[in-house]
């Protein structure tokens, strides 16, 4: 549990990220709090456009939007305000990141060895032979067979799963304290997904990394994460341990998401869908962003923003039903 640790590894407070448009600044993330303890796995779930990737990119300070308010405390520094040079040494050094599209996340003109060695030489000032030796070890660690042969290969010669393994090798090359995995398995086959998640889990144990897992795959969350944060329209609507959130979903949005999962016992049942669509971030209601699609909406919902109400031990939901 994050609260039990004296000082969380990563602590995002009231983060607000805005994008400039022709009309006005539009907020993709509207004041969220996230804290991750060392070694913990936290999943950030939500549908496309809910702001989960923007949150992740903000931690790396690579978002194209502007961090308008809030702080991102990481090991005693506020990542929202550290100088760019220091940020560069944190990226890839203390925070690693892997992406959704392994197919295009590697540079096509360099061999995978060159790309891994570059990270090692940059952050750890290794000599070329030392970097090569360590790159071979990393490739072997992420389960690439015959690393001495693979290391000279180019990305187009590898399969998607292997590329994601290479991305992982690069992300963990400098033993980061935090790994951000932005939909790491979305672009992969189901069988490969399981292998990659298993690998991620074993690497996490070995290196004692915390993992911020961005996904919309609730199955992956249930399997892999300890805590889960549900985002909707730039706000966290529910958070708690995976067990609590899956067993006692307290926000109507989370309930609807879980109801939309296919039921393996009854495969012919029609899948439930949430009516309506995510509101555009430029036209959010003053109250709860979900109220237009919510079956339980009542008087305060459209006019007042619901704060997070405690519904259990470390389990919160932003819904007036839980007041």
Partner 1 sequence: MSVPVGPAPAIEALAAPHADAEALGIAETPAQQLWRTFRKDRLAMLGLYALCTLLAVALIGHLLTSWWVLFDPTTVRLPDKLLPPFSTASSALSAELMPPFHAYPFGTDELGRNVFARMLQGAFVSLSVGIVAVSISLGIGITVGGLAGFYGERKLGPLSIDSLLMRFTDVVLCFPTFFLILTVVALLPPSIYNIMIVIGITSWMSTARFVRAEFLALREQDFVTAAKALGLSEGRIIFRHMMPNAMAPVLVSATINVAHAILTESALSFLGFGVRPPYATWGNILADGRSYIFDAPWLFLIPGAAILLVVLAFNLVGEGLRDALNPKLRKRVG
Residue 145 within binding range of partner 1, rule CB under 8 A:
yes
Residue 268 within binding range of partner 1, rule CB under 8 A:
no
Please pick, from the candidates 37, 58, 79, 99, the single residue that binds partner 1 as defined by CB under 8 A: 99
From the centroid of its chain, how far is CA 317? Answer: 20
Largest CA-CA distance found in the chain, in angstroms, rounded:
68
Record the tokens describing residue 207, joined without a space.
């290196």
DSSP 94-131: TEEEE-S-TTTSS-TTS-HHHHHHHHHHHHH---HHHH
Between 77 and 88, name the residue whose CB sits nearer to partner 1: 88
Angstrom CA distances, 53 to 123, 149, 159, 213, 214, stand at 25, 35, 25, 10, 7
Q: 19 CB contacts (<8 Å, ≥6 apart)? A: 25, 26, 27, 28, 64, 65, 66
Provide the β-strand partners of residue 271: none
| CB 50, CB 233: distance < 8 Å | yes
Residue 83 within binding range of partner 1, rule CB under 8 A:
no
Please pick, from the candidates 34, 37, 97, 211, the single residue that binds partner 1 as defined by CB under 8 A: 97
Please pick, from the candidates 15, 79, 162, 170, the single residue that binds partner 1 as defined by CB under 8 A: 170
Residue 22 within binding range of partner 1, rule CB under 8 A:
no
Residue 91 within binding range of partner 1, rule CB under 8 A:
yes
Distance CA 239, CA 44 (A): 9
Residue 212 within binding range of partner 1, rule CB under 8 A:
no
- Segment interacting with partner 1 (CB under 8 A) among 1-9, 90-98, 222-230, 286-294: 90-98
- Segment interacting with partner 1 (CB under 8 A) among 83-91, 196-204, 210-218, 305-313: 83-91
Query: To the nearest whole angstrom, how small is the minimum distance from the Cβ of residue 264 to partner 1?
Result: 33
Closest to 20 measured CA to CA, from 32, 9, 28, 12 = 28
Residue 48 within binding range of partner 1, rule CB under 8 A:
no
Query: To the nearest whole angstrom, how small is the minimum distance from the Cβ of residue 113 to partner 1?
Result: 8
Binding site for partner 1 (CB under 8 A): 60, 62, 88-93, 96-97, 99, 101, 104-111, 113, 118-119, 122-123, 129, 132-133, 136, 140, 145-149, 151-154, 157, 167, 170-171
């Amino acid at each position: 549990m994050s609260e039990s640790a004296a000082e969380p590894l990563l602590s995002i407070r009231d983060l607000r990220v805005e994008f400039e448009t022709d009309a006005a600044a539009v907020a993709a993330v509207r004041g969220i709090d996230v804290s991750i303890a060392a070694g913990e796995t936290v999943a950030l779930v939500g549908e496309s456009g809910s702001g989960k990737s923007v949150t992740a990119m903000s931690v790396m300070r690579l978002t194209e939007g502007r961090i308008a308010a809030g702080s991102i405390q990481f090991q005693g520094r506020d990542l929202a305000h550290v100088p760019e040079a220091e940020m560069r040494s944190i990226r890839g050094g203390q925070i690693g990141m892997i992406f959704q599209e392994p197919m295009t996340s590697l540079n096509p003109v360099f061999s995978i060895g060159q790309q891994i060695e570059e990270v090692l030489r940059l952050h750890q000032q290794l000599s070329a032979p030392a970097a090569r030796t360590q790159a071979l070890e990393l490739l072997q660690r992420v389960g690439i067979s015959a690393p001495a042969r693979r290391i000279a290969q180019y990305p187009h010669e590898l399969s998607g799963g292997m590329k994601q393994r290479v991305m992982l090798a690069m992300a963990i090359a400098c033993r980061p304290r935090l790994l951000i995995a932005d939909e790491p398995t979305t672009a992969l086959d189901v069988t490969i997904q399981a292998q990659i998640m298993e690998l991620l889990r074993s690497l996490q144990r070995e290196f004692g990394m915390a993992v911020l897992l961005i996904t919309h795959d609730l199955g992956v969350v249930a399997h892999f994460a300890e805590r889960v944060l549900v985002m909707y329209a730039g706000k966290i609507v529910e958070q708690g341990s995976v067990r609590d959130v899956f067993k006692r979903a307290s926000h109507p949005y989370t309930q609807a998401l879980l109801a939309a999962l296919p039921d393996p016992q009854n495969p012919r049942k029609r899948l439930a869908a949430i009516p309506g669509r995510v509101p555009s971030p430029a036209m959010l209601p003053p109250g709860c962003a979900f109220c237009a699609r919510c079956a339980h909406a009542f008087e305060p919902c459209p006019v007042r923003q619901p704060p997070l109400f405690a519904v259990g031990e470390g389990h919160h939901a932003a819904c007036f039903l839980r007041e």
